[in-house]
A and B are shown apart, each in its own frame.
Chain A
Amino acid sequence: MSLTATQITVGYRRGAPVLRQAGVIVGPGQVVGLAGPSGCGKSTLARVLAMLLPAWSGEVWVDGVLAGGARHRIPRQLRTAVGVVFQSPRRSVDPRFTLADVIAEPLRATHVPSSDAEARVRELVSRVELTGDLLARRPHEVSDGQLQRACLARALALRPRYLVCDEMTSMLDASTAAALVSEVRREVSGRRMGVLAVSHDRELLDVWADDVVSLGSE
């Protein structure tokens, strides 16, 4: 049982791979840090693990099931087993959605009945400490920190078995960062969610992660 990437070679331009034979294993209830300087391919590996980017070669396994391809080619059940939070909340939400819509989107997309979805949104909102009046606002009306709280709630909405945090806290102030990390920690200890924490901040990973993998630039 683990989220595993093995021998991943992938890039964005033909003949110029960003990663060669890279791999990482995240077990349930484990926080694995992925460190390295800008441009070393951390985010690319995170995207492969989140099944957003198909690898040129190599395999991604989710609890023993091989994920073929990426995005909608993968069965929903497998796809939703891995949640993801990106660095810039502003670039990862639809500017027309209210925060409540942002958080409820995965529930709507997977046809969760609306009464259940509402209850789940209420629960998530209290977890990430978003107060009532913020939920009716659109992204441009809230701060980065508040928006990232909504993005974390969205990522947790379907109770993913694994969470990929790609520089989740690097644009946030210390207190908001600590608040989001504690919420993720609660899911890790509570229901044994596995976490891949990608960050250039070695100090953060040393405190947060059980293990830190360094991805050096080639």
Chain B
Amino acid sequence: MTTSAHDQRHRASDTPAPDVLVDVHRLSVRIRTPLGHVVHALNDVSFGLRPGRVLALVGESGSGKSVLAATILGLLPANAQVRGRIMLHDGGESIDLLRASETRLAAKVRGRRIGLVPQSASTHLTPVRTARSQLEEAVRALTPRGHRRFGASSRGQSLTITERVRELAGHVGLDPADLALYPHEMSGGMAQRVATALALAGDPRVVVADEPTAGLDRELVHLTVDLLRALASEGRTVLLITHDLGAAERVADDIAVMYAGRMLEFGPATQLLSDSWHDYTRGLLRALPAGGLVPIPGQPPSLTDLPPGCAFHRRCPGECSGDLALTWFGERAVACR
């Protein structure tokens, strides 16, 4: 028995499950370029982020993954047109992220409710200041004035900035001695931990990690994603945006496969990887070393010039069902089976 994707989404959004922290509903993003082209960055994307869970969004470059991160954080360029809804249900209130003002996003959401673990940690850090100085700045900026205490004489529940920085360092497995280092003195792993500590400075319940493992070696990839897993186990929700299926396999509870701005397949990680339904997902798995390094023929279409209908059609070995919307089968969904 199946239900159409539309019904399913409607049910999901009209009565959101009580534990959904971020509810993304039929999100579409168009960006008009100065030359008059329209980038169809996201098309009708829906999903929910739940506490304690890691959702990995995988796909080739140019599939709209990073635009999604920017949309959730309210960091889209001014020439972007957004349709749909993103609701943040956290701390007893619900915030409509697409309609909230920039002041509200800056004061209440970014860093405090939603933290970003960036791509390329070492270039994200300020090169001329130590890790400690950057962490202190983040903590100071994100702590309400009344709660700050300084000096050895302070007692009580709130921490001094120094204590909080030490706590954050411990949280991400950073040796306190390493806080005195400048970014160029850090190894890739240390830089990654500092960047993660910065994302946690405001104690957000939602962590968005945008390609945090790009260009890292396997060991560092594992370290980075294991840290994200640990954050989820503390009751946060993690959105891991990555093209690395290996990383997704290691930590994700659920995987969403994106292609040309659309979600093609969604499901629990183990099921989706061991028994993929969409030809694109199967193609991605075959392209891995373990799958035999078989490339998917051709390249993703340009987001300024999407073909009508299924954007994967030209590269697809299978028969076309013509279905673009996700069809749900229990907890899994696929656009074309």
Contact = CB atoms under 8 A, between A and B. Distances in A.
Nearest to B293: A178
A170 interface: yes
Interface stretch (A9-17, A75-83, A100-108, A204-212): A204-212
B243 interface: yes
Contacts of A131: 299
A175 B217 contact: no
A203 B219 CA distance: 13
Interface string A174-190: 11111101100000000
B215 A175 contact: no
Contacts of B245: 174
Interface in B48-94: 59-62
Contacts of B61: 143-145, 172-173, 176
Contacts of B292: 207
A200 interface: yes
A38 interface: yes
A146 B303 CA distance: 14
Interface stretch (B102-110, B126-134, B164-172, B280-288): B280-288
Chain A contact-residue range equals 20 to 34
A174 B63 CA distance: 13
A136 interface: no
B220 A178 contact: no
Interface string A192-218: 000000001111101110000000000
A208 B288 CA distance: 11
Given A38-B220, A145-B60, A170-B215, A175 B289 contact: no
Contacts of B217: 37-38, 170, 200-201
Contacts, number: 81
A203 B244 CA distance: 13
Instruction: Summarize A's interface: helix, strand, loop or mixed.
Output: helix
A175 B60 contact: yes
Contact of B218 (A129, A143, A200): A200
B296 interface: yes
B287 A143 contact: no
Contact of A129 (B243, B284, B288, B298): B298
Contacts of A179: 295-296
A88 B124 CA distance: 17
Interface in B230-245: 243-245
A11 B211 CA distance: 32
A-B complex: 4 closest residue pairs judged by Cβ atoms: A173-B243, A200-B217, A179-B295, A178-B295
22 contacts: A39-B187, A131-B299, A143-B61, A143-B62, A146-B299, A170-B215, A173-B59, A173-B60, A174-B245, A174-B288, A175-B295, A175-B296, A176-B61, A176-B299, A178-B286, A178-B287, A178-B293, A182-B293, A182-B295, A202-B218, A204-B293, A207-B290
Interface of B: 59-62, 187-188, 214-215, 217-220, 243-245, 283-284, 286-290, 292-296, 298-299
Interface of A: 37-39, 87-88, 129, 131, 143-146, 170-179, 181-182, 200-204, 206-208
